[in-house]
A and B are shown apart, each in its own frame.
Chain A
């Protein structure tokens, strides 16, 4: 719209630029609600807290709950599994960070940082590679060579503390924010 023959900016140019800018800002503001509506609704956010009774889980077993739509593994570890997890040296791990939402980000991946109460390991059952659910070892059918979990999609193996030990996954299974409300009741989220 500006007259190309006039080199210096005129009041007319300024007016057009101001009008166009205001319109652009207004359009951008309108776009936000249209984008934000796809985020989890207040209902979905509020439902992201899970309380569950885990008294039925026996040593060497696990219970799979659903938290934020993902499987949440609550495993009651045997003394042998705890010992196996404690005997691993930190330098042998692929991922040396605890990945525990209850601890600082740089906490090392020692077993005590993975399971605050040694008997109970609480991890999100989502392989850190591409999101499949790893299969759990049982006494009869071990999964992978580390006594923990095996992701059948791409072969990542996890130990009894849910730490990745072989390939393509690069991070340990995440430990969600959780707390024991009593010895048999857990709150996640």
Chain B
């Protein structure tokens, strides 16, 4: 353990030399930027559609519950719509009347999810997730937009950043894919989105950029679901404090007058 610190220093020194540094993410204009920005509801709903049809094959959203989809400040699904969405997901069921948790083939009993359930990971545990993804672990996406620097732009950039043929001189290991925005520029995830990977329920043309934009918006909300309430309350609080400071300033001047 004595050596740990030195080891850390050595790693920090060595890290840039070993890995090819990631490109900084492409900055996008987001509807939720700025002190008055709000989420684009239609974009959130389209983003959820992509999550449901593409991402959820490998990634969970386990800090979110289905009812969050109908919560204020979110994608704006109705409670009925959210319940129907929940019903289309399967989650592990509790033991049945006879106390069994698996069927005769040893498969975990399942039931349709309810509004109170978390949006589940498709894998029962990390080992199963790695096993299905040639050793790589698909991360939970609940906090992806917060867990990286410039997270929303990062998500967008990763999704549009796949290049079929890496530039000359760059060798990508077997099983990895070249992506200049990922640390080391090689990512285990194969390109998940292509143009018209989904057919949008609202008729929007599903270009790759549009899809990446929508799913990044959705993940921004997933990581920060209270943003709209936060900014609204913040405006009221700051306005109040400015008024209060003004009054205090006048009182301060009166009290100190002639001193």
Direct A–B touching in the complex (beta carbon < 8 Å)?
A: yes
- Which segment, of B28-36, B134-142, B196-204, B246-254, faces chain A? B246-254
Q: A26-B240, A46-B65 are in contact. Are A18 and B247 (CB under 8 A)?
A: yes
Residues of B with C-beta under 8 A to A1: 255
Q: Is B244 a contact partner of A47 (Cβ separation < 8 A)? A: no
What residues of B have a CB within 8 angstroms of the CB of A23 in the complex? 244
> Is A22 engaged at the interface, CB distance under 8 Å to the other chain?
yes
Interface residues in B75-123 (C-beta closer than 8 Å to A):
97, 114-116
**Given A22-B243, A56-B97, residue A46 in contact with residue B115 (CB < 8 A):** yes
Number of interface residues of B (CB under 8 A): 17
Complex CA gap A49/B71 in Å reads 17
7 tightest Cβ-Cβ pairs between the two chains A and B: A19-B247, A19-B251, A46-B116, A47-B116, A22-B244, A46-B67, A12-B254
Shortest B69–chain A CB gap in Å is 12
Chain A residues 150-175 with CB under 8 Å of chain B are none
Q: How many A-B residue pairs have CB under 8 A?
A: 37
> Closest residue to B241 on the A side, CB-wise?
A26
Q: Which residues of B are found within 8 Å of A29, using beta-carbon distances?
A: 240
B250 to chain A, nearest CB (A): 6
Instruction: Give the docked Cα–Cα distance between A179 and B16 (Å).
Output: 63
CB contact under 8 A between A16 and B116, given known A43-B65, A46-B65? no
Supplied contacts A19-B250, A26-B244, 13 more A-B pairs, CB within 8 Å: A12-B254, A15-B247, A15-B254, A18-B247, A19-B248, A19-B251, A22-B244, A23-B244, A42-B67, A42-B71, A43-B116, A49-B116, A56-B97
Interface residues of chain B, those whose CB is within 8 Å of chain A, are 65, 67, 71, 97, 114-116, 240-241, 243-244, 247-248, 250-251, 254-255
Of all chain A residues, which has the CB nearest B236?
A: A29
A44 to chain B, nearest CB (A): 10
Q: Does A119 contact B (CB under 8 A)?
A: no
A95 contacts the other chain (Cβ, under 8 Å)?
A: no
The answer to whether B65 and A22 have CB atoms under 8 Å apart is: no
- B115 engages A15 (CB within 8 Å): no
CB neighbours (8 Å) of A43 from chain B are 65, 116
Q: Are A15 and B250 also in contact (CB < 8 A) when A23-B244, A26-B240 are?
A: yes
- Give 23 A-B contacts (CB < 8 Å), ordered by A residue: A1-B255, A15-B250, A15-B251, A15-B254, A16-B254, A19-B244, A19-B247, A19-B251, A22-B240, A23-B244, A26-B240, A26-B241, A26-B244, A42-B71, A43-B116, A46-B65, A46-B67, A46-B116, A47-B116, A49-B116, A51-B114, A53-B97, A56-B97
Query: Which residues of chain A are near B67, meaning CB under 8 Å?
Result: 42, 46
